[in-house]
Amino acid sequence: MNKKILILSGSPKKDGNTATLVKWFAEGARSKGARVEIVRTAFLKYKSTGCTSCRACQRLDAYECVINDEAKPILAKMAKVDAIVMATPLYFFGASAQLKLVFDRMFSLYNGTIKPAP
């Protein structure tokens, strides 16, 4: 069975070091039969600057963010792949802001902190 890999590239540079490493990783994975999708998080169109802490996602039966923008389908794909690779340059010892936006929105994938009253 072919593995499905989702790569989240957090670099704002289209041809920088992170992009080169992502390319090499994707080529290696594809050479072994994996299906690879690369998402360049710096170029997604967002309606918010990360999770807004509305917690509406926690009231849903589905594991999804309620903000309808280009990050929403990426979050939905995360549950359907075999592996998620996160590639980022390090800025001040942490992930780039472009990848952090997606990290924060991943809160919607953890559904269990708030449930509607019966």
Q: What is the mean pLDDT of residues 30-39?
A: 96
Extents of the domains making up the chain: 4-109
85-115 confidence digits (pLDDT tens): 999 998 888 889 899 989 898 888 876 655 5
Q: What is the mean pLDDT of residues 38-55?
A: 90
The pLDDT, as a whole number, for residue 25 is 97
CB atoms inside a 10 Å sphere around CB 54: 13
Nearest to 68, CA basis, from 79, 78, 56, 80: 56
Is the pLDDT at 1 greater than 90, yes or no?
A: no
* Domain 4-109 top-level CATH class: alpha beta
- At 34, is the pLDDT very low, low, confident or very high (cuts 50, 70, 90)? very high
Mean pLDDT, all residues of the chain: 88
Residue type, 34: A
